[in-house]
Structure formats: C-alpha cells, structure tokens
Chain A
Amino acid sequence: LAKTTQPISMDSYEGQEVNITCSHNNIATNDYITWYQQFPSQGPRFIIQGYKTKVTNEVASLFIPADRKSSTLSLPRVSLSDTAVYYCLVGASYNTDKLIFGTGTRLQVFP
C-alpha cells in the first residue's frame, strides 16, 4: 500500500506562498498523486493531480521529483479562504486498496 505522510498542520500569512510536502515512499509505477482540499462541513474538493515532473493549474502547482517518492503542493499567495485541510492521495482508480486518505495537513492562514 502506498501510504502517505504529511505534516499535521501549517501556519501562514496572507500573500505568502505555501508548500505542503507529502511523502509516499512505496508509490507504485501506475499510481497517480492527487491533492484534495476540504473545508469544514464540506466534502473534499479536487485540487490537482500529477504523475511526474510539474503540473500547474489556476489554483496550485504540483512538483514531483524523478523518483516520485514525494510530492509538493504549492499554493501561491494564499488568502484567508485557503484555510482548510489538504489531503495527499496516492493510488489508481481500479486498485481500491490504495484509495487511502491520511489525516491531511491543516493549513491556517492568518491576516
């Protein structure tokens, strides 16, 4: 199983860049790396997904080194509304044994 390890919590201030790193040493060849964001009283929301190198969308960037044993979610210029829990998920859709959410990283953004 591709277990993930993330920091339990992080603090930041508005306007700063936030980088959350996820460790997944046992990632398999066909595994994707996906990040979700969850606000209180809501279901998780897909942020970004990657397989290798770098992926960027309108919300975030995902950096994946060549060995794929870790990944870093980068949130540029965070605002108060980015305060949420961020989950790193590693796995492939057909292998449900690997659809495991950890406890996530609780990001608190201060004014």
Chain B
Amino acid sequence: EAGVAQSPRYKIIEKRQSVAFWCNPISGHATLYWYQQILGQGPKLLIQFQNNGVVDDSQLPKDRFSAERLKGVDSTLKIQPAKLEDSAVYLCASSFTGAGNIQYFGAGTRLSVL
C-alpha cells in the first residue's frame, strides 16, 4: 500500500517569496492534515480537512498561509509571502474517518527561508 506522498522534499527560498507544497494522501483516507514542525519541537497542526471541507484551521496564519483540497484527495499548502520564522518541516498526514488518532505521515518538506 502506498504511503502519503509529499513534494518537494526540500525547498530553499528567500523571505517574501512564495512557496507551495503538495500532498497525496493514502487512497481512501477522507481526513488530511498539515503540520508544521520546527526543529526540536513536536508537530503543530495547521489545518485539518474532512474530504474537501475544512474542519479546523484555527492555528493556520491566514494572512500568509493557505491550503486547499479541491477534489477531496490531493492537497496543497501555500505560503505567501514567506518569513524567516516559517523555516520548518511541513508534514502531511491522512487518516480514515473515525479512526481515532491513527494518522499516517509523509516524509515532509523541509523549508529553509533565507
């Protein structure tokens, strides 16, 4: 069974530039999550989708971050404009609906903002 796919694996940009990350969840998983993980910390939930609807985006900095999951499968997370403090690993995870907390994570995208 294929896991959660993310791309790119690494991205280096300058501050004020824009960047986008892509995630393809495990087939059949209705719930998709985006996390931000800063070095030395645990992942922090940015946004959760149930199919193509947003369940929770309370910790998403909406002035610069946006995310979509138009067809209820793939998702993109965008940052525009990026700040130095956005340097982190961005993780995508997916799960079946009602599966408790069993989330399956991708390898993440490491973003460096210079």
Tally B residues with Cβ within 8 Å of A: 30
B101 smallest CB distance to A (angstroms): 4
Cα distance A96–B103 in the bound complex, in angstroms: 13
Contact at B42–A104, with CB atoms within 8 Å?
A: yes
A residues less than 8 Å from B105 (CB atoms): 42-45
B113 smallest CB distance to A (angstroms): 19
B residues less than 8 Å from A101 (CB atoms): 35, 42-44
Interface string of B28-61 (1 = CB under 8 A from A): 0001010100001111110010000001101000
Interface string of B73-114 (1 = CB under 8 A from A): 000000000000000000101010111111111111010000
Which of A34, A43, A97, A103 is in CB contact (< 8 Å) with B101?
Answer: A34
A residues less than 8 Å from B42 (CB atoms): 87, 101-104
On whether A43 and B108 interact (CB within 8 A), knowing A34-B101, A93-B98, the answer reads: yes
B residues less than 8 Å from A78 (CB atoms): none
Cα distance A91–B101 in the bound complex, in angstroms: 7
Interface residues of A in 88-107 (CB under 8 A from B): 89, 91-94, 96-97, 99-104
B12 smallest CB distance to A (angstroms): 16
Contact at A93–B101, with CB atoms within 8 Å?
A: yes
Residue B4 is within 8 A (CB to CB) of chain A in the complex:
yes
Which of A42, A89, A93 is in CB contact (< 8 Å) with B99?
Answer: A93
Cα distance A33–B55 in the bound complex, in angstroms: 21
A interface residues (Cβ-Cβ under 8 A, vs B) = 32, 34, 41-46, 49, 87, 89, 91-94, 96-97, 99-104
The 8 tightest CB contacts between A and B, nearest first, are: A43-B105, A101-B42, A96-B56, A34-B101, A32-B100, A101-B43, A43-B91, A96-B48
